[in-house]
Amino acid sequence: MQEAIRRFQYFDHWTEDQIRECCILAKVAHYEPQQQIAVPGTGGDLEYAYFVLSGQCLVLQCLKMMKKVRGKRQCFRLLPAESDDRILHIAERLMKRKDSEVLEAVLSPTLRQSLSGSRLSLARSGSCEESDDHDSQNQPNEEKLEHHFLDVGTYSCGSVFGLGERMQDRSIVARNHVQCMLIPRYWLFMKHQNTGNVWQRIKMYLDQAIPSREQLFNKFLDDINWMVYRKRVVNDVIQRRGRQINTRLADVPIVCRVEQSDIGQSKKR
């Protein structure tokens, strides 16, 4: 435990008594790939701060939004954040993809068993995106609830989280085999271990470094609008040029033409 503590510069000023007391209170936890890591705000251990000793942790953000279809356009509206228990129950209304093991790991074992026959997926659609389906014009103009899961960051070796930072609709999942040192927050925030309010400053940095729900939602809309614009430009170019094939003999590489020619065979004859 002492070797793990000395790997972090945050504890360089600690005395031997503080290190000894930390070794008594702290513990080391191991997490399998795609296993949810319990942190404050996600229904797990509320009294521990997490120091990553090895591996990488995925920061998974859930955006709850309402989609409304207006003719050929799809518009989104971000809904307020909800509790972790509510996030787990969204799987009852979603389909599960074959490659969404990370999303499945976010679910609790009890809920995963009850949803063994269902499928969870990432809902993929755009804000004010034009649809090519003619049937969309006949659909009723109603709002539909959708949940989008976004990978917003990674905690690597030497990182710290679980200091009380913003965790609304957010989960931490192990990307690979992860080893973390857990230190009680109440003891870590005491005056002797919190010189210069270092933990509050790290907490403020994490809140600034990781985008908020509103920022992620705006970025989501920008990406969707760009995809719609790119699709429109490509379709316009294809319609102007048509589907004529303008490939000429000069476009074929000389090496390919020599290999496919029968000049060499005629000489042998």
Question: What range defines the domain where residue 126 resides?
Answer: 57-154
CA end-to-end distance (rounded Å), the chain: 82
How much is the average pLDDT of 101-125? 41
- pLDDT category at 205 given cuts 50, 70, 90 is very high
State yes or no: pLDDT of 113 exceeds 60: no
Amino acid at 196: G
Considering the domain architecture, whether residues 136 and 26 belong to the same structural domain is answered as no
Q: Do 47 and 196 meet the contact criterion of CB atoms below 8 Å apart?
A: no
Predicted confidence band of residue 261 (pLDDT cuts 50, 70, 90): low
Examine residue 247 and state whether it is found in any structural domain, yes or no: no
d(CA 29, CA 31): 7
Backbone conformation region of residue 139, classed left if phi is above 0, alpha if psi is from -120 to 50, else beta: beta
Strand 143-155 vs strand 57-70: parallel, antiparallel, or unpaired? antiparallel
Asked if residue 244 is part of any domain, the answer here is no
Q: Indicate the pTM of the whole model.
A: 0.63
Structure tokens at 234: 């490509």
Sign for the CA dihedral angle at 150, 110, 156, 212 comes to: positive
| For residue 8, pLDDT beyond 70 | yes
Q: How many domains does the structure of the chain reveal?
A: 2
Strands 170-174 and 36-37: antiparallel
Q: What is the pLDDT of residues 179-190, one digit of tens each?
A: 999 999 889 988
Establish how many alpha carbons lie within 13 A of residue 110's alpha carbon, considering only the half-sphere containing its beta carbon.
3
Task: Give per-residue pLDDT as tens, 50-66.
Answer: 999 999 999 988 888 88
What's the confidence (pLDDT) of residue 122? 35
Q: Looking at the domain assignment, is residue 137 inside a domain?
A: yes
Residue 228 lies in a domain: no
Residues 93, 134 within the same domain: yes
Q: Is residue 117 part of a domain?
A: yes
For the cut 70, the answer to whether the pLDDT of residue 7 exceeds it is yes
User: Nearest Cα to 82, choosing from 67, 63, 66?
Assistant: 63
CA separation for the pair 93, 23 (Å, rounded): 45
Residue 109 φ then ψ, to 5°: -60, -40
Mean pLDDT for 193-222 is: 88
Structure tokens at 145: 């609830």
pLDDT(145) > 90? no
pLDDT tops 90 at residue 177: yes
**pLDDT in the model for residue 71:** 73
Report phi then psi at 42, rounded to 5: -120, 20
Q: How far is CA 35 from the centre of its chain?
A: 14
Supply the pLDDT for residue 135: 43
Looking at the fold, whether 68 and 146 belong to one and the same domain comes out as yes
